Structure 1
């Protein structure tokens, strides 16, 4: 697989690469948290959905870790960035000693609410990657595109599981909105830092080349990346009272892709 799997498009390649930097540690954290929710779930269908969610997230983490191994084989060391992400999930957001069961439960609700907010973003990105023919038109590597679309389709497929679990555990609207307000600026900062980091370690770029906002806007205009207004519009739905992820749609397209995806077949 070429290092710039979107040919001649380092910005698009490295924007997507941030997923590979964030998700191995992130999805391991998701799995740990949702295993703790299983004894608290009284609804049989939701429990089955959570079990499926845990299995899918564990598989996604392994797939993205494989891309990190691909970087390492090219002599690109991403551990300075991924170690920071591991600290975020394994230390900052991890379980903390609590004096009471009530405080432990409240922290679990916070963790689930953070994950539900993140899953909203991954569902939005998943729907976008499933409908991104411009990437194919410019010759994006088909193996990488299949992996991303397989992951994106499963994110769309289970987009409501974390949200439904949050509500089942009686997290209210203000906790939901507060979690999204906390997650949004952190994700934005991590994405900007991640793209800049990948530019700094990219052996195929001339020294001193840096990502520019106008490059991102140009890539978005050409359909190679999700545009800012699309992201703002869809993410804003999360703050509506009465919102549910099923309102985003896209499930039929996701199911259709999973039926033909080589990566999906290999994961079974």
Structure 2
């Protein structure tokens, strides 16, 4: 038991603390090295493209290659853009942590990331959202995360480029925005436990995340800003359950939906990539 607890604490020191495992955004910290994580994310809301409840299901696999590199792969299935259920998108993501400043009960980290999304969805709106697979394209950005004991704050800034056949058309003016600046500001607080006794303790974290985007080189429908509060439970230091509610604060864009509910479950398999002796 003491050995397992020591391993658990070492993972907290070298990877992400519980309160920076943001439900909507990625922190600059990485998952444990040589580990695999499996996740199922779901999103529900009233989409303007169907008569009933809009749904999206995203199975995802994440690999911690080493302490600096991690990669993701995910698929999306849903009915957000049409009145029927279908395979929506595929996405790959890579993150490189290039700065770590670790002290007792606090650390500061920075990382760079890039992602590529192939989407079967047609262009319907000027809200560029490659993270959720609404368009095909590429994204690249920087993440900075600061932890102070039980509180963690993180910021992300990125550029998204939509790669769609409509972009190469000769329409003048172009019918959609194809480039955006995206950002998140995320805060998390560890509510329980007050102190760690063993790795079997349930963690309760609360979060608030500001999520926004601004279209570039586009004359109208330029921005949106959302707020996403969430709660998170972590079981046995290996399983994570998230529940979040995202809603619009301000926007001048005609959007697919202005509010949604997110539920996700993730299970990490520590040392799954290590070679057995």
Which TM-score tier does this pair reach, normalised by the shorter chain?
under 0.3
* TM-score between both structures, scaled by the size of structure 2: 0.25
Structure with greater strand percent: 2
* TM-score between both structures, scaled by the size of structure 1: 0.26
